[in-house]
Amino acid sequence: MLLHVENILSPEILRLIKEKLESDCWADGKITAGEQSSKAKNNLQITHESSVGKELGEIILRILGEHPTFNSAVLPLRVFPPLFNRYDAGMHFHAHVDNAIRKIPGVNFRIRTDVSCTIFLNNPDDYVGGELIIQDTYGEHSVKLPAGDMIIYPSTSLHRVLPVTQGSRWASFFWCQSMIKDDTKRTILYEFDRSIMETRKLLSDDHKAVLGLTSTYHNLMRQWCEI
């Protein structure tokens, strides 16, 4: 499932993030790349050790924890601490697939990457190029979103970032291990959940149809969840 989620970050949070990132140190983005990705990657990144990066990542995690669309679509079991990258003029990231397993920095713990997420931190008119190109069975999708919006897509997807030719593209990115490993099943549950919410608008919460749909949703979760 490829999903555009609007207004994950408010203008106030975006200003805070941008101000703090401007004063922090940027390093070569290859620090988080695997063997294959490192050959394709040309960008800048805030390091794992950065106190600013950790602080801003925690802010994003708190927001995600309370966001209904994110939780409904991803059904997260674990979320990798958000990272921050930057593409200045001439920078790019050639086609690659994200690593299947990620070690969480500072702890002896790993997650399986089921879902990849990118939150855009500046507006499309701040830079030229820099589109995120995601490939799936329906072809290629070009993604360049307003500041504060997020794209969610399966980590199995081949994807790339086109060269920035002018300006600078800033983003936060991270991965999630979902309680539902299979993307098709996640999509079914997300669409099912949306249908339940729409039905609740038309009927009371204790209506027989709403109760039946909700019961079926949770029984599917019991069948498919891995926790």
Domain layout of the chain by residue ranges: 3-178, 183-224
Q: Compute, in degrees rounded to 10, the torsion defined by CA atoms 18, 19, 24, 30.
A: 0
Task: Say which range, 18-32, 79-93, 126-140, 198-212, has the weakest mean pLDDT.
Answer: 18-32
User: What confidence category does residue 36 fall into, taking pLDDT thresholds of 50, 70 and 90?
Assistant: low
Which residues have CB under 8 Å from 128's CB, separation 6+? 164, 165, 166, 167
According to CATH, the superfamily of the domain at 3-178 is q2cbj1_9rhob like domain (2.60.120.620)
- With a cut of 90, say whether residue 166 has pLDDT above it: yes
Give strand pairing partners of 115.
154, 176
- Given a cut of 90, is residue 32 above it in pLDDT? no
- How confident is the model at residue 38, as a pLDDT? 62
In whole angstroms, give the CA distance from residue 198 to residue 195: 5
Question: Per-residue confidence at 34, pLDDT binned at 50, 70, 90?
Answer: low
Minimum mean pLDDT range among 34-43, 46-55, 128-137, 153-162: 34-43
Q: Model's pTM, two decimal places?
A: 0.94
| pLDDT tens per residue across span 177-209 | 999 999 999 999 999 999 999 999 999 999 999
Euclidean distance between CA atoms 138 and 173, whole angstroms:
24
Q: What is the share, in percent, of the chain residues with pLDDT greater than 70?
A: 96
Higher pLDDT, 24 or 60: 60
Report pLDDT digits (tens) over 1-14: 999 999 999 999 99
C-alpha–C-alpha distance, residues 93 and 39, integer Å:
9
Could you tell me if 113 and 101 are in contact, meaning their C-beta atoms sit under 8 angstroms apart? yes
Helix axes 183-202, 208-224, angle to 10 degrees: 160
CB 217 within 8 A of CB 169: no
Contact between residue 53 and residue 46 where contact means Cβ atoms under 8 Å apart: yes
- Per-residue burial over 123-147, b if 16 or more Cβ lie within 10 Å, else e, is eeeebebbbbbbebeeeebebbbeb
Q: What is the mean pLDDT of the chain?
A: 94
- CA-CA-CA-CA dihedral for 21, 26, 31, 33, to nearest 10: 60
| pLDDT tens per residue across span 52-105 | 999 999 999 999 999 999 999 999 999 999 999 999 999 999 999 999 999 998
- b (16+ CB within 10 A) / e for 174-207: bbbbbbbeebebbbbbbebbeebeebeeeeeeee
Q: What is the largest CA-CA distance in the chain?
A: 58
pLDDT value of residue 40: 80
Which is nearest to 162 in space by CA: 115, 128, 125?
Answer: 128
